[in-house]
Chain A
Amino acid sequence: MDAATLPLPVIKLELLGDASAAACEGDSCAIPDHHLQAVVNRKLDEDDV
């Protein structure tokens, strides 16, 4: 279902927090860039790279 055909929310919520936080939608669980950077940083800290 694309954005144009998604049903409109019936109950309105005020959204708080970081809008780019990691989530799963359908079978897709994307990894946001800041998480990838955190993984790289940790590997650097652990001398894995």
Chain B
Amino acid sequence: MSNPIKVDIWSDVQCPWCYIGKRKFEAGASEFGGEVEVEYHSFELAPDTPVDFDGTPVDYLSQRKGLPIDQVEQMLERVTGIAKSVGLDYDYDHVHQTNTVISHELIHFAKSKGRQLEMKERLLDAYFVRGEHVGRIPDLVAIAVELGFDEAEVTEALESHRFLPDVKADVALAQEYGIQGVPFFVIDGKYGVSGAQEASTFANVLAQVQSERVV
């Protein structure tokens, strides 16, 4: 009988380590080779960010952190280099800093259709690689339609904020787990793994969980 290892992942669409960690986790799960069931959960890193933030991520980080522009640019250049090492072409020159709550609602909408993983990947790609806006309803609807979802249905879901309670429930559960940073992986509901670990670490953790099940 199939009994996959359940991995619940808390992540935000505009978290650079979440996309890098996603790739590393996928590589680790592949290295592990066993059956793994993944479910993503919402986490808002900066819920007070306006949807139409007037500026670049450099401006945003500089203003929020009080850091000099050149220091922020250097930081993003380093993150871009690390992303490149896992096959992701981050394009910070075209990233739209925004509020991600509605993109999380869209991920929950996709989950209700059994297509959460596809939407999660598409939205991370939209934000970091394609330079698309992931905070506004029309932009998010366009992405959903491109994936084959019904335009009227997804528009209604986002405009009514039907899935907002699911987003907030994820955030509340993160608090119950004591999660302060993302990505954060909860494995079989009892083990926690924080951050963009190396693929081998994920593989080892999954193997350990599997071996404990056998005993």
Contacts and interface: CB of A to CB of B under 8 A. Distances in A.
B81 A39 contact: yes
Interface stretch (B130-138, B162-170, B194-202): B194-202
A29 B79 contact: yes
Contact of B178 (A7, A18, A26, A27): A7
Chain A interface size band reads: 20 to 34
Contacts of B159: none
B85 A42 contact: yes
Most buried by A among B16, B81, B202: B81
Chain B interface size band reads: 35 or more
B78 interface: yes
A40 B8 CA distance: 33
6 contacts: A11-B178, A17-B194, A18-B197, A21-B197, A23-B21, A23-B194
Interface of B: 12, 15-18, 20-21, 45-46, 60-61, 64-65, 75, 78-79, 81-82, 85, 175-178, 180-184, 186-187, 190-198, 201-202, 205, 208
Interface of A: 6-11, 13-29, 31, 35-36, 38-39, 42-43
